[in-house]
Amino acid sequence: MNRLHKELGVGQGVALMATSLLGTGIFVVPAVAASIAGSWSLLAWILLIALVLPIAFTFALLGKRFPHAGGTAHIVGRALGPRFEKLTAFLFLAVLPVGLPAALVMATGFWHSVMALSHIAELAIQLGTLILILALGLGGAKLSGSIQVGIALLIVALVVMLWWQGDIRLADASFSMEEEDGVLSIIPALSIMFWCFVGIEAFTHMGEEFKNPERDFPIALIVGVLLAGLVYWGCSVAVLKYGVYGSEQENTTAIPRLLALLFGPTGQWLAAIIGYLACFASMNIYIQGFARLIWSMAEEGSLNRIGLGSLGVLNNRKVPSKALWLVSATCAVSVLMLELTGLSLESMIRFANGNFVMVYLLAMLAGTLILKGWQKWLAVVSALLCIIVLAAIGADSLYVLALTVFFFITGLIMKFGNKSSMPSEL
């Protein structure tokens, strides 16, 4: 079997995991969460990390046991069968029309903070970003990992600079009992903040490319999650202390404005560049994950019925180049379509979150069947946590529920059609 190169180490894995979580959220979501929950968003971050860690541990255990380019879909298929494997893949791929455009809007927002952009210029930046990700992806996983190590270090250094120059202390991380909504505002904030911890499922698609997946994959995943959580919390403290949040425009430019306040025009440009690179890194891991999932499905014959079996080939660098081209083109079309619909950034995040939570839930259910002993009970707890988060998303979870119903109805129709087309016995 012509499988992928095993060329990732722990350091590159941590960078890929951390930047996939930090990328599109670090410069935007802390401000959005602050506008919803005020200082209580700091408690919300702590609760969210506590919610995500059991899920991350379960993913680490499953990914260690089944390192495969099919990622979460492959794991679900091992436990729940091919139909649920296809459902997981379908829901993950269905993030493309809303999730990637949301990330591209965030990336473009950083350039808004330093220059005026027309709609044509925004589209040019978004489509140009996709071209850069395609070019990087064609270079292989090791190249992506090496570049994202540098981006991860830049993000951490930026948050350290914020605390140092902003004279931020632990005393600034306090909750205001006088805020109108108080602790009740944490629930709607969590439905947005969960966006910051989607990326674990995309990271599982890279498991097959670790030099020693049984040892390195779980370490990279857990350390990456903890690092990302610490950075998010630290960034939120700075946003709250200086009050750089409010409207959607204010939220998307919060960190650049804060750095401009602390460091002058140079700081604003620094934030724009690092913020864009952070978004780029997150989108890169997702697009590479999407491509590997499609390649894996095609390579195993799942796409032959719809004429896409040719996507299951690798180029001379062991990269699923055809699948990568398809994913990049789909993202470009989605960007153009959403430009016409005018869907808000917050709505795109909420819709995408529903899909991610459902994929997480399916993976945790798979863990309850595959894992043994205390690991099984960890998966049970993780599944319950996913159900709680799905409920917190509320009406926006209808997107993923509608997709799930559509998937099963389409499957029944196809099954019935196949039976009808079979010749009757004499």
**pLDDT tens digit string along 328-364?**
888 888 888 777 776 666 667 667 777 888 888 999 9
- The span from the first CA to the last CA of the chain, in angstroms, equals 43
CA–CA distance, 236 with 244 (Å, rounded to integer): 10
pLDDT value of residue 424? 47
Closest alpha carbon to 136 in 250, 268, 291, 313 = 291
Identify the pLDDT of residue 24.
61
Query: Where would I find the H helices in 309-344?
Result: 321-341
Beta bridge partners of 210: 8
Question: Taking Cα atoms as reference points, which of 303, 285, 306 lies closest to residue 295?
Answer: 303
For residue 377, the model assigns a pLDDT of: 93
Position of tokens 């436990």?
79
The number of beta carbons lying within 10 Å of the beta carbon of residue 408 is 11
d(CA 73, CA 239): 37
Per-residue pLDDT at 368? 93
Buried b (16+ CB within 10 A) or exposed e, 51-86: bbbbbbbbbbbbbbbbbbbbbbbbbbbbbbeeebbb
- The tokens 């306040």 sit on which residue? 261
pLDDT value at residue 345: 64
The mean pLDDT values, 10 residues at a time, for the chain of 426 residues are: 68 82 78 85 88 86 78 85 86 78 79 80 88 86 77 84 86 65 72 76 74 85 89 89 81 80 83 83 81 81 72 80 88 79 67 80 91 91 86 76 85 66 47
CA 305 – CA 302 distance, rounded (Å): 7
Angstrom distance (rounded) from CA 364 to CA 296: 21
In one-letter notation, the amino acid at residue 1 is M
DSSP category for residue 423: P
What is 10-408's CATH number? 1.20.1740.10
For the stretch 421-424, contacts whose Cβ atoms lie closer than 8 Å and that sit 24 or more positions apart, written own/partner, are none
Compute the distance between CA of residue 135 and CA of residue 276 in angstroms, rounded to an integer.
Answer: 17
Q: What is the pLDDT of residue 425?
A: 44
Report pLDDT for 336: 81
pLDDT of residue 180: 55
Q: What residue spans define the domains of the chain?
A: 10-408
Give the C-alpha separation, 340 to 255, whole Å: 28
Q: How far apart are CA 113 and CA 134, in angstroms?
A: 26
